[in-house]
């Protein structure tokens, strides 16, 4: 069984993220979800809330054995991959725009450390969902319950109640 890393800010972890996680695990990989802090994004959930919601989601969907959650330390993703023994990074592609954004990073990861990137096309049912859009719709009072696992929805509601 090979180890792969699914990195992201996951603010919040969406049904699209869950689908990618399931599919990567179904390919026979041990998946490490690497939750990062992205200073260029205006986040809503802190790292403990995000990791907690993801861990709860994995438990509820019987993925806890095949998937683990770690906080991604600052630094290069390839260094983290080496540390955990991962041979590849998993990324979801919703559109051509995602590929244009992801391709140079994939090539750099390969150049720096020989780390491959596995691109999985996002299921069409989730291709319109992004964490940033979910946060925006939620902040404006829209219903995002059909875009999130229940643990993520609970974390988002709790964070909104505090702010």
φ, ψ for residue 123 (rounded to 5)? -55, 135
Q: Give CA–CA dist 72/54, Å, rounded.
A: 14
| 28: alpha, beta or left? (left if phi > 0; alpha if psi -120 to 50) | left
Residue 70 annotated in active site: no
Catalytic residue among 41, 60, 107, 157: 41
Listing DSSP states for 104-155 in one string gives HHHHHHHHHH--EEEEEEPPGGGTT--HHHHHHHHHTT---TTTS-HHHHHH
Quote the Cα angle for 46-120-13, to 5°.
20
Q: Which of 94, 110, 127, 130 is catalytic?
A: 94
Known active-site residue 138: no
Q: Which of 17, 23, 50, 135 is catalytic?
A: 17
Q: What is the DSSP letter of 75?
A: S
What's the N-to-C CA distance of the chain in angstroms?
Answer: 43
Catalytic (active site) residue 17: yes
Q: Is 128 a catalytic residue?
A: no
User: Active site residue: 9, 23, 29, 131, which one?
Assistant: 131
Query: Which residues are marked as active site?
Result: 17, 41, 94, 131
């Amino acid at each position: 069984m090979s180890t792969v890393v699914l990195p992201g800010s996951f603010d919040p972890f969406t049904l699209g993220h869950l689908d990618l996680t399931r599919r990567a695990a179904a390919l026979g990989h041990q998946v490490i979800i690497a939750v990062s802090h992205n200073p260029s994004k205006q986040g809503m959930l802190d790292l403990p809330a995000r990791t907690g919601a993801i861990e709860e989601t994995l438990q509820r969907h019987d993925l806890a054995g095949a998937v683990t959650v770690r906080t991604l330390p600052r630094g290069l993703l390839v260094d983290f991959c080496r540390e955990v023994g991962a041979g590849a990074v998993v990324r979801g592609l919703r559109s051509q725009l995602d590929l244009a954004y992801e391709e140079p990073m994939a090539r750099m990861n390969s150049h720096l450390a020989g780390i491959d990137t596995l691109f999985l096309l996002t299921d069409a049912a989730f291709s319109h969902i992004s964490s940033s859009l979910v946060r925006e719709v939620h902040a404006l009072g829209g219903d995002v319950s059909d875009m999130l696992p229940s643990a993520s929805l609970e974390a988002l509601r709790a964070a909104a109640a505090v702010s």
